[in-house]
Amino acid sequence: MIAKQRVLVVDDEINMRELLEIILDTDGYEVVSVPDVPSAIEACNATVFDAVLTDLRIGNEKEAGMELLTWLSENAPTTPAIMMTAHGSVETAIEAMKRGADDYVMKPFKNDEIRLLIRRSIQQRNILRENVALRRDQVARGKITNIIGNSHAIEEVKTMIRRVAMLPSTIAIHGESGVGKEVVARAIHTLSARADKPFVAINCGGIPEHLLESELFGHKRGSFTGAVDDKEGLFVVAHGGSLFLDEIGEMPLSLQVRLLRVLDNNSVMPVGGTSQIKVDVRIVSATNRDLEKMVADGTFRKDLFYRLNVIPVYVPPLRDRADDIPLLARHFIEKHASKMGRQRLGISKAAMAALQRFAWPGNVRELENVMERAVALCSSEEINVDDLPQNVRNFMAEPAECMVELPPGGLDLEARMDKIESAMIGQALERSKHSQKRAAQLLGLTPRSLRYRLKKHGLETDASDEDE
């Protein structure tokens, strides 16, 4: 169940607090009301609020609301605040805006006016926090339609995504480097009830330990050298949404303990802080390492492994879904041709056969890099074998053991052999510049046998006289 949006009401008049509680509760908000600024600060230190509604004059303090605005701007800068007052003026409104108020309302007010202000402020706050997430991670929001492929292996992944997206459980994505684990994580978020909240991603292996701690949990000003301001951690930025912890196997043991604590009590403690902050975040983790082996070796906590691995999702390597290579290759060609301002490019059968023959140790990421290079270097309207890297076009060695290992779900042996035969014929034609006679010699076939196979695989070419 997704947590309600939280609103903090600060007013010394109990009748006003009760009225606002009724109005906002009716609209589905979780309302916390307090009578003074110290109580408001205590509440903000303990809970992440989506909006704060505060009176200007509280008790005998005429500027209490301004003091709270100042505190919020320094300690919770992404939390919108609305100032209420029965003693307003243009100067007061201007000063409130300078102190960080998002809006200003005069008492007595209409109920719908308060509803509109709260709704608008929270929408603006969500946009701001989403921008924070986007600045940290420039990859566009993923959708399940962005998982390219229709092979049996990738269809199983899509089916799993649809089954788990709406569940509240933590998800662990397993797979080799470059298979697209983050794309899967984004698809899970997009299909979940959290889709309109931030998706925040961080690579746990690419940041030093002390900086990773600050990035995840935030810090208070002065808590360490260089901490000149308070900083919200990614758990707070992702509040209500999803936090993707990539390469979780690289996280130091000391931070694994802190992460486990967050999973246990749904709250974080900023570095240098003294109060817990409640958060509602779905954790999706990913790794290309064998976490069970790491648990056995003592380099990954067993209790954290079981908390993260509630629902495991396995993303197969590209070599196990070679049927998807043509779709992926054309997708990347179109993508990078558009970026480079080039016209639509095709790809020759021989070049495609070479792509399908290659082992792709770097998986989908490597395929995209190869396609980007081919688009950049291609001098014609069609990508040919010569536009591919040497290691791809010359991949003629015996298949590696991993290439001939029987997949868990079995395979269609005749279809696989047909694919290999088609790929070899395509390369032979490319090398012989489409001379069937020379291609047959390269393959140890008779011209008649080659012509039979060309027809079988739909690779017929115009034969020259010398080929007859």
Express each pLDDT in 50-62 by its tens digit. Answer: 899 998 888 888 8
Weakest mean pLDDT among 55-59, 354-358, 398-402: 398-402
Q: β-pairing, 311-314 with 346-347?
A: unpaired
Q: Indicate the range of 131-145, 376-390, 430-444 predicted with least confidence.
A: 131-145
Closest alpha carbon to 161 in 304, 364, 305, 314: 314
Q: Please give the pLDDT value at position 142.
A: 39
- Is the peptide bond prior to 108 cis by the omega test (within 30 degrees of 0)? yes
- Percent share of the chain, pLDDT over 70: 90
Q: What is the pLDDT of residue 2?
A: 57
Q: What is the mean pLDDT of residues 349-354?
A: 91
Tokens 């209490």 locate to: 64
Long-range CB pairs of 395-399, under 8 A, 24+ apart, other chains included:
395/354, 395/357, 395/358, 395/359, 396/427, 399/359
Say yes or no to pLDDT of 466 above 50: no
Domains and CATH numbers, the chain: 6-128 (3.40.50.2300), 144-314 (3.40.50.300), 318-410 (1.10.8.60), 412-468 (1.10.10.60)
Residue-wise pLDDT for 25-46, tens only, equals 999 999 999 999 999 999 998 8
Closest C-alpha among 238, 253, 245, 243 to residue 287: 245
CA separation for the pair 368, 381 (Å, rounded) = 19
What is the residue-averaged pLDDT of the chain?
Answer: 85
Residue 34: φ, ψ to 5°: -135, 155
The terminus-to-terminus CA distance of the chain in angstroms comes to: 73
At 140 the pLDDT is: 37
Note the pTM of the prediction, 2 decimals: 0.60
**How many whole angstroms separate alpha carbon 31 and alpha carbon 390?**
64
For residue 1, the 8-state DSSP code is -
| pLDDT surpasses 70 at 463 | no
pLDDT digits (tens, 9 = 90+) for 430-457: 777 788 888 888 888 888 888 888 888 8
Q: What is the mean pLDDT of residues 102-129?
A: 84
Would you call 246 helix, strand, or coil by DSSP?
strand
Q: Which residues pair with 7 in a beta bridge?
A: 31, 51
Output the pLDDT for position 133. Answer: 57
Radius of gyration of the chain (CA): 30
Section 176-182 average pLDDT: 93
Torsion of CA 357, 358, 361, 366, to 10 degrees: -110
Between the alpha carbon of residue 32 and those of residues 9, 58, 419, 423, the distances in Å are 6, 17, 65, 67
What per-residue confidence (pLDDT) applies to 138? 37
184 burial type by CB count under 10 A (0-12 exposed, 13-18 middle, 19+ buried): buried
63 pLDDT tier (thresholds 50, 70, 90): confident
Provide the pLDDT confidence category of residue 414 given band limits of 50, 70 and 90: confident
Mean pLDDT across 410-431: 81
* CA–CA distance, 20 with 84 (Å, rounded to integer): 12
Q: How many other CB atoms sit within 10 Å of the CB of residue 329?
A: 22
- Is 70 exceeded by the pLDDT of residue 153? yes
Query: Are 275 and 44 a contacting pair, CB within 8 Å?
Result: no
The model's pLDDT over 255-311, given as tens digits with 9 standing for 90+, comes to 999 999 999 999 999 888 888 889 999 999 999 999 999 999 999 999 999 999 999
- pLDDT band of residue 468 (cuts 50, 70, 90) is very low
Highest averaged pLDDT of the listed ranges 64-68, 136-140, 167-171: 167-171
What distance lies between CA 43 and its chain's CA centroid? 31
Residues 203-220: tens digit of each pLDDT: 998 788 888 999 999 888
161 Rama class: left (phi>0) / alpha (psi -120 to 50) / beta: alpha
459 three-state secondary structure: coil
- CA–CA dist 18, 26 (Å, integer): 12
Lowest mean pLDDT among 122-131, 218-227, 400-409: 400-409
Between 332 and 92, where is the model more confident? 332
